[in-house]
């Protein structure tokens, strides 16, 4: 399948992308891909180094006649989000991504594609290996652990970069220049609950919620898409009147993806009442989400009866806590029309053997909003007596609408394409704010090609859009 990708234009970039996607690169386990990029820089004869965290920096001198131009930092992250369809058999830690071409789109076979941010990294590699581009001195920064907490940016070594302009290649619409983003914070819940033997004569069932779109928990949080954990909770709560008892429950997997699937193993003592309640709540949910989630499935099939179930009192408290935990948009920006200011994603749930663990991610353009929504999320779990911890906090990126680089890029874009670009802040987390804290005074812009449905198996990258982006990117390097 990669031969299709390698034949695309510009071949240099797509070949580098195929090389990256041949290497498993989950967050926090990027040593193989980091070593590959380090070796790539050294084979080109370029100054190449790793900081203490493992981020890779490759420096390329200015092309002839450009020695007086300001040094430019080109930045992308090497890790990718791992998500796959329920029926897809795939080992992300051992297998390379299986890619295919579908019309104008590059996609993956049942998994995330890794265009976020692999195409950005491949673009930088193409600049480093090119012999015919006009560009200033380049400092290529490849960070690690972006998707699981911005670890690479937060631990970036100081004194390694001299550039004063940073071009981040992690925006996913080719007509958009991003000049600011939200900060983030994880709120993680850990709770021990009481179990007992399943009631005598209880029948076992597996309840499954799947077919949801999922997506990026920042960029897609305002689309009204279903969260599998919240939907499953509604089903379980409604079916308690059928004597439903929870044996085990799993839903979602990564902090920054909207959960697409959830599974529960339950014991039921009032089968007729259970089926009636199940049918009623499924009709209700399908009616609510039919427009935005046309492929949603909620099924119930006979299964082995769980040996142990959550005690009734704890089950009621648990379901109430999940019901109360905020998920979705918390506040829209009063200053920027259409921009989500603050949100939360009820990202992952694992409940079994007397232990409940839940991961959530809060985002906000303002620090006080981030703290407020995190407090709202933890409140119902505080009432459970759960242990609650915060982790992976990172700051937002304050917009600079008076940026000199922004003005120059806006002019170039309008000259080349006949219309103005959209200049905006986004609700996703970008590394710019963190890097800017470690290297004050940077003039920073984020841009990139069209990549849709990032953080889901429906992720796809437009071939035509990338060609547009590449043409513009080369012009920026020539004129900047």
The residues annotated as belonging to the active site are 79, 146
Are 236 and 246 in contact by the 8 Å Cβ rule? The answer is yes
Q: Exposure pattern of 175-212 as b/e (b: 16+ CB <10 Å)?
A: ebbbbbbbbbbbbbbebebebeebeeebbbbbbbbbbb
Smallest CA-to-CA distance from 196 within 358, 322, 306, 317 is with: 306
Taking the chain, what is the end-to-end CA distance rounded to the nearest angstrom?
Answer: 37
How far apart are alpha carbons 351 and 9 in whole angstroms?
Answer: 47
Backbone CA torsion sign across 42, 46, 52, 54: negative
Q: Which two tokens stand for residue 11?
A: 């071949």
8 Å CB contact between 429 and 454: no
């Amino acid at each position: 399948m990669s031969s299709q990708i390698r034949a695309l234009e510009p071949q240099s970039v797509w070949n580098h992308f195929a090389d990256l996607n041949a290497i498993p690169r989950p967050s926090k386990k990027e040593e193989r891909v980091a070593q590959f990029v380090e070796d790539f820089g050294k084979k080109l004869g370029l100054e190449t180094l790793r900081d203490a965290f493992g981020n890779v920096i490759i420096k390329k001198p200015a092309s002839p006649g450009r020695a007086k131009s300001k040094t430019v930092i080109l930045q992308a992250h090497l890790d990718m989000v791992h998500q796959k369809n329920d029926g897809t058999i795939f080992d992300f830690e051992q297998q390379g991504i299986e890619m295919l071409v579908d019309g104008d789109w590059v996609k993956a076979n049942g998994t995330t594609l890794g265009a976020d941010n692999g195409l950005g990294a491949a673009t930088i590699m193409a600049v480093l290996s090119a012999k015919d581009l006009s560009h200033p001195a380049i400092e290529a920064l490849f960070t690690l652990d972006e998707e699981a907490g911005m670890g690479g940016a937060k631990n970036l070594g100081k004194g390694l970069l001299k550039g004063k302009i940073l071009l981040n290649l992690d925006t996913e619409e080719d007509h958009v220049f991003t000049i600011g983003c939200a900060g983030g914070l994880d709120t993680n819940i850990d709770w021990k609950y009481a179990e007992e033997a399943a009631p005598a004569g209880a029948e076992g069932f597996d309840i499954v919620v799947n077919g949801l779109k999922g997506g990026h928990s920042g960029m897609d949080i305002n689309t009204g898409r279903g969260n599998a954990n919240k939907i499953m909770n509604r089903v379980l709560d409604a079916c308690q009147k059928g004597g439903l008892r929870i044996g085990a429950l799993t839903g979602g997997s990564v902090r920054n993806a909207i959960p697409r699937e959830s599974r529960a193993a339950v014991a039921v003592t009032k089968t007729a009442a259970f089926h009636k309640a199940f049918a009623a709540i499924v009709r209700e949910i399908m009616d609510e989400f039919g427009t935005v989630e046309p492929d949603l499935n909620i099924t119930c099939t006979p299964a082995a009866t769980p040996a142990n179930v959550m005690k009734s009192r704890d089950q009621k408290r648990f379901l109430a806590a999940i019901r109360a935990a905020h998920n979705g948009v918390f506040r829209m920006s009063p200053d920027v029309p259409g921009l989500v200011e603050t949100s939360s994603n009820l990202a992952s749930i694992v409940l079994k053997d007397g232990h409940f663990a839940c991961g959530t991610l809060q985002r906000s353009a303002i620090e006080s909003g981030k703290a407020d929504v995190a407090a709202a999320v933890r409140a119902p779990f505080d009432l459970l007596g759960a242990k609650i911890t915060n982790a992976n906090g990172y700051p937002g990126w304050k917009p600079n609408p008076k940026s000199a680089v922004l003005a120059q890029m806006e002019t170039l874009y309008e000259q080349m394409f006949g219309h103005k670009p959209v200049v905006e802040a986004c609700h996703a987390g970008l590394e710019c704010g963190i890097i800017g804290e470690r290297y004050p005074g940077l003039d920073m812009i984020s841009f990139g090609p069209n990549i849709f449905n990032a953080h889901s198996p429906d992720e796809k990258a437009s071939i035509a859009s990338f060609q547009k982006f590449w043409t513009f990117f080369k012009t920026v390097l020539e004129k900047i």
